[in-house]
Chains A and B, each alone.
Chain A
């Protein structure tokens, strides 16, 4: 008897779920949980810790102003430094919690590769907020995985453009990158782009010291003996600091042109140790002295709040974090508009994330159909000025992302080999002097 009633009940429940399920508007949740993965330990915490501070500042302010149509954001931070399985199980734990949630993951390209298929399986929106690998979105089409910032191709091709615009005449180049996926992959893209635009360049050394190496003396000696015209390093954090310091102490920066696409994040730390005339990039158009947005009240206020909280100027991962959060809000707003002002389902949100345009603290980012954000690139040349105790960027160049990003549907390794030198003359590239 009881079994029969239970069975009836079940059938009834199933029927009502079928009948009302699709028609009922998604009820607005009380809070929107954000699972944010970032490095809180290990050497990459030079990026992760400032980014976490940025998220806290931004979310606190956003919630105080009423949240997302009254829905408050509730972040949970996951340490990417846990690595491997431990990281993934933490990610799964947060992504599978009850209630409305969105994941922001991650800094490490390895972690992006890991979580993307998981998010797709779980049908949870995952915003890749800082990782560089272009392969994630090129190798597979994702419905629930998007990236609110540029990828390695955009960054490296823009660096080559900047180098060739500012130093067209050189014969030899050497590279010294960290020995892990980013160091190897970024060089692959850079080399192929450079050889497509300047086929006669001689590559005199390819050095890949250990990730986290504490001494580059031998590498500096070898580079001094080889005397390459240009030295590229896509290293970051303590590795980059040590290399630049040892190289400039021994005069290597005087004999070779240094190209450091991630050094914006090291400028304040390196201070006077980084000489004038070094080509520096910022993995996007991120700079607290961005020529177009430095006086923008929103940007200015954020820089001040960030300095008050952390005692440092914001660096690119900070901007990436804000961009991801602004992108998410823009996505929700677009999805709600489409849904007649009602709270959207995850599917509607994920769909809306493809195609929106939003602004973080710098130039707007446009999201493409494949979920890749088109983020313009800023590079500049270091210069000491009396206003700051560390070098600023002079002769800045803003390179539009669509010029230097693999088109949708194409594969980067083949595309970069087809780049023509007319992109160097594109009128869309703008240049700015410091202070103007």
Chain B
């Protein structure tokens, strides 16, 4: 394995890790606060992607839309999906099963996932959707004699890092962030201290849903959205979350990078292993540290 290959794999891996991280971040945030492993997160990713490509196509249909508008369409898609679908899921379903068995909660989110997949099929049908126009807007970058799209090389990793930094800042220094952490610690005590825990859970869920949808809407320019796209993402992002330890935000970032890089290296050296690499990493980590790489003994989970 030459140095060149490692460099190239590094570049490829980072872009992939960016998307993976955004989706895993939503999943892990929701788990941290609500204790629910939200399988319907995969559907939020798909909805974000589909809505983003629809919005971008609309923007393009009305003549040459400026790049700002096209990028805004991606963000808008994530916000709409997170706010609408996220609220429906939280208020309509999860609030009612808050104190029930975690297995039941898991099954309910799984049921919601299946229903949402059918809804997505009803709205967008079976033809592949994309928003590839966005990628062309950012042009290409030449690196080590290889052409990359600036969108994948720069935009996605930067957005992922920005979201990470914003979230860390919000959790530490804003009122609502501190309330989220308090609820994570202990919902009952937080309520006793005057925090509206029910509202905090809703806010967290909607924000987490927006991250999932943002993963989808940022992926829409580079990929083709087809039925079933959410299933793959939920499985992969679950392996990131499990590797990192449930509820670990920084851990998810590192785990996503690990998996992204390992996957890229596999394509270079043993392409047959590409598919299995994320799960291989997960299994090895869980064998050594059953609660994930970054879980510490403390009670606080985010």
Query: Which of A54-62, A153-161, A217-225 participates in binding chain B?
Result: A217-225
Do B264 and A218 touch across chains, with their CB atoms under 8 A apart?
yes
Residues in A with CB closer than 8 Å to B126 are 40-41, 45-46, 48-49
The segment from B102-110, B158-166, B219-227, B250-258 that touches chain A is B219-227
Given known contacts A221-B8, A222-B268, A225-B145, what 18 new A-B pairs fall within 8 Å (CB)? A46-B126, A179-B275, A206-B271, A207-B267, A209-B267, A209-B271, A215-B16, A215-B223, A217-B15, A218-B264, A224-B145, A237-B226, A238-B225, A238-B229, A241-B128, A246-B149, A250-B140, A269-B128
A249: interface (CB < 8 Å): yes
Chain B contacts for A245, CB-based, 8 A = 130, 132, 222, 224
| Chain B residues whose C-beta falls within 8 Å of the C-beta of A212 in the assembled complex | 226, 228-229, 232
B127 CB contact (under 8 Å) in A218, A249, A251, A269: A269
Q: Would you call B219 and A214 a contact (CB within 8 A)?
A: yes
Residues of B in contact (CB 8 Å), total 44
> Which residue in B152, B228, B271 is a CB contact (below 8 Å) of A207?
B271
Complex-state Cα separation, A48 to B125, whole angstroms: 12
A218: chain B residues at CB < 8 Å are: 9, 12-13, 16, 263-264, 267-268
Q: Give chain B nearest CB distance to A248 CB in angstroms.
A: 9
A222 to B266, CA, bound (A): 11
Q: 10 A-B pairs, CB-CB below 8 angstroms? A: A42-B228, A43-B226, A43-B227, A45-B227, A46-B127, A217-B152, A237-B226, A241-B224, A242-B130, A251-B147
Q: 7 smallest A-B Cβ distances: which pairs?
A: A45-B126, A238-B224, A238-B226, A238-B128, A218-B12, A218-B267, A241-B224
Q: A222-B267, A238-B224 are known contacts. Are A217 and B12 too (CB-CB below 8 A)? A: yes
Give the CA-CA distance A212 to B275 in the complex, in Å: 11
Within 215-243 of B, Cβ neighbours of A (below 8 Å) are at: 219, 222-229, 232-233
A41 to B114, CA, bound (A): 13
Pick the most buried of B136, B152, B222, B226: most chain A CB atoms within 10 A of its CB. B226
Most buried by B among A222, A225, A245, A249: A249
Q: Does B272 contact A (CB under 8 A)?
A: yes
Q: What number of A residues sit within 8 Å (CB to CB) of B?
A: 38
Residue A208 lies at the interface, judged by CB distance under 8 Å to chain B: yes
A196 adjacent to chain B (CB < 8 Å): no
Name the distance in Å between B44's Cβ and chain A's nearest Cβ.
Answer: 16
Q: A237-B128, A251-B140 are in contact. Are A242 and B267 (CB under 8 A)?
A: no
Is A273 interfacial (CB 8 A cutoff)? yes
Instruction: Judge if B274 is at the interface, Cβ distance under 8 Å.
Output: yes
* Interface residue? B11 (CB, 8 A): yes
Q: How far is the CB of A298 from chain B (nearest CB, A)?
A: 26
**Chain B proximity of A331: nearest CB distance (Å):** 31
Instruction: Name the residue on B nearest A223 (C-beta).
Output: B146
Complex interface: chain B residues within 8 A of A269 (CB): 127-128
> Taking the complex as formed, is A428 at the interface, i.e. its CB lies under 8 A from any CB of chain B?
no
* A208 pairs with B136, CB closer than 8 A: no
Whether A242 touches B223, Cβ cut-off 8 Å, given contacts A224-B146, A225-B146, is yes
B228 neighbours in A (Cβ, 8 Å): 42-43, 212
B227 lies within 8 A of A249 (CB): no
Docked Cα-Cα span, A21 to B13, in Å, equals 71
Contacts of A206 in B (CB 8 A): 271
| One of B8, B264, B272 near A225 (C-beta < 8 A) | B8
CA A179 to CA B273, docked complex, whole Å: 12
Q: Which chain B residues numbered 100 to 136 have a C-beta less than 8 Å away from chain A?
A: 121, 125-128, 130, 132, 135-136
Answer whether residue A210 sits at the interface, using C-beta atoms and an 8 A cutoff.
Answer: yes
Residues of A within 8 A of B136 (CB): 249
Choose among B146, B219, B271 the residue that contacts A221 (Cβ–Cβ < 8 A).
B146
